[in-house]
Amino acid sequence: MAHIHLQDGAFSLPFTLLWWAVALILLGACLYRLRTAGRLSGRQITTAALCTAAAFAVFQVSLPLFGGIHLTLTPLVGILAGPVTGCVIVFLVNILSAATGHGGWGLVGANTLVSLAEVTVAALLFAGLRRMDATPGVRAGIATLVALAAGNAAMIGIILVSGIQGVTQTAFSLLAGLSLIALVNMGAAVIESLVTALMISYIARVGPVLLGEKEP
């Protein structure tokens, strides 16, 4: 989904350091919040570990659609783990992904921010839609689609602000190209929304406590 698949050197050093700094500040704030909130329960630790493993594994699988896409499960991470723990998860996933060639190491900071936007929007929207007379699966589908749109917006914004070294395109031409990529990503987002909705529907039936839902 929304991920900056560029190699090291695509962003100038000041912008590379800027996005890393912002990501590390947010990561530090989340770690501090987790530490002051008290010891995590075994269920929370297990959920975080499973989300990390699942998100990384799914991210490595390319689907032969729209020229090749992959899912991220970042909205699912947000729904299950929340934005605070989710920040730690997506940082680890982006570190592991950079190690396998999905974007340069210098882009880990920027990609963490893109993923965090998706995690946060999905978590907040899923919780906010509780007032709707809708099933958890429907809420998850809506939250996922909106969250992935937010991630694409974050991706476009970061690239436009940073610029790409060696590219002579005007800002308008670059925006047009990025918008086309985002359009393809949103086509894939529909698939991820359906997958997430089905997974959350199943979890709501067998373990609603994981979603903060009441037992049926």
Q: Within a domain: residue 2?
A: no
* 2 confidence band (pLDDT: 50, 70, 90): confident
What is the rounded CA–CA span in Å between residue 27 and residue 29?
5
Whether 110 and 158 have beta carbons less than 8 Å apart is answered as yes
User: For 126-145, what is the mean pLDDT?
Assistant: 91
pLDDT of residue 100: 84
Q: Within a domain: residue 8?
A: no
Q: Within a domain: residue 4?
A: no
Q: Tell me: pLDDT of 216 over 80.
A: no
Q: Within a domain: residue 79?
A: yes
- C-alpha distance from residue 150 to each of 120, 168, 173 (Å): 10, 27, 21
pLDDT of residue 192: 92
Q: Within a domain: residue 185?
A: yes
Average pLDDT, the chain: 89
Q: Which domain holds residue 70?
A: 13-211
Higher pLDDT, 104 or 82: 82
- The burial of 112, by beta-carbon neighbours within 10 Å (0-12 exposed, 13-18 middle, 19 or more buried), is given as buried
* Domains identified in the chain, total number: 1
Report the CATH number at residue 22.
Answer: 1.10.1760.20
pLDDT of residue 152: 94
Tell me the pTM. Answer: 0.90
User: Which region among 30-34, 54-58, 83-87, 110-114 has the lowest average model confidence (pLDDT)?
Assistant: 54-58
Q: Tell me: pLDDT of 87 over 90.
A: yes
* 16 confidence band (pLDDT: 50, 70, 90): very high
Whether 114 and 151 have beta carbons less than 8 Å apart is answered as yes
pLDDT of residue 193: 95
Higher pLDDT, 168 or 76: 76
Q: Within a domain: residue 3?
A: no
Q: Within a domain: residue 159?
A: yes
Q: Within a domain: residue 21?
A: yes
What is the rounded CA–CA span in Å between residue 117 and residue 50?
20
pLDDT of residue 200: 95
pLDDT of residue 132: 81
